[in-house]
Amino acid sequence: MKNTSLVRFVFLTLSIAALTGCGAGGQGGGGSRTIDLGTLLPLVGTEQQTMLFVREEEKMARDVYMTLYNQWLEPTFYNIATKSEQKHMDSVKAMLDNLGIADPVVSDATGAFTNTAIAGLYTQLVTRGAVSLNQALLVGAYIEEYDIVDVQHAKDEIIAGSNQTPIILTYDNLLCGSRNHLRSFVSRMGVAYTAQIITQTEVDAITSTPSEQCGI
């Protein structure tokens, strides 16, 4: 079993380091449906820790996008934050509620996080996004790549552990939304996009294909 705390700490540390050294260089819904969770079984191993992390990670995406929208008035940020990221937050909270797990989001205020590493990444991202609209769009793409990596890890962890279909389908919806959001941000740049976290091959495979109907 992986030490998930260490994995996340290292990944967040590398993410922040990459942001501080990074230079410049659609209207996103994302579309997702509500999964019928039924009665979920208790989580095993580090599945709960991962789910808590994903809940705040989705809030970070929403908060960054609303902050950047307020600065640049770029509608892509507003549409993704209000039409998709909020739903993603709600879908993870529904799983936590079903399982009787306390919500780590104790304040819905913008930029408020229980996880200090996520709080630090939020600050780095909004600072970078304040430089220019181009940097703001790059931040959006960065977040979606980041989410793809992390939610895929969460899904793989469930498959290897409690293997609960409703949770797997919920994570699939989050992944689908992130792919659509990445397409939206890249399309708004109007220039060739260089992958920031996942491979260029993976990014090109996503951005060269049409938006998906998530949950179908």
Taking only the tens place, the pLDDT of each residue in 27-50 is 444 445 668 899 999 999 999 999
Query: Cα(67)–Cα(62) distance, rounded to whole angstroms?
Result: 9
Q: Is the pLDDT of residue 8 over 90?
A: no
Question: 170: domain range?
Answer: 4-207
Full-model pTM: 0.86
Q: Does some domain include residue 175?
A: yes
Q: Is the pLDDT of residue 206 over 90?
A: yes
Q: Does some domain include residue 215?
A: no
Q: Is the pLDDT of residue 17 over 80?
A: no
Report the domain count for the chain.
1
- pLDDT digit string, tens, across residues 113-148: 999 999 999 999 999 999 999 999 999 999 999 999
Q: Does some domain include residue 216?
A: no
Q: Is the pLDDT of residue 3 over 90?
A: no
Q: Does some domain include residue 23?
A: yes
Strands (E), the chain: none
Please name which of 185, 207, 190 lies closest in space to residue 74, comparing C-alpha atoms: 185
Q: Residue 32: its pLDDT value, please?
A: 53
Q: Does some domain include residue 212?
A: no
Q: Which amino acid is at 98?
A: N
Q: Residue 25: its pLDDT value, please?
A: 31
Query: Cα(158)–Cα(41) distance, rounded to whole angstroms?
Result: 12
- pLDDT digit string, tens, across residues 66-101: 999 999 999 999 999 999 999 999 999 999 999 999
Q: Does some domain include residue 62?
A: yes
Query: Cα(13)–Cα(10) distance, rounded to whole angstroms?
Result: 5
Q: Does some domain include residue 128?
A: yes
Say which CATH number the domain at 102 has.
1.20.1260.10
Q: Is the pLDDT of residue 12 over 60?
A: no
Band the pLDDT of 1: cuts 50, 70, 90.
very low
Q: Does some domain include residue 16?
A: yes
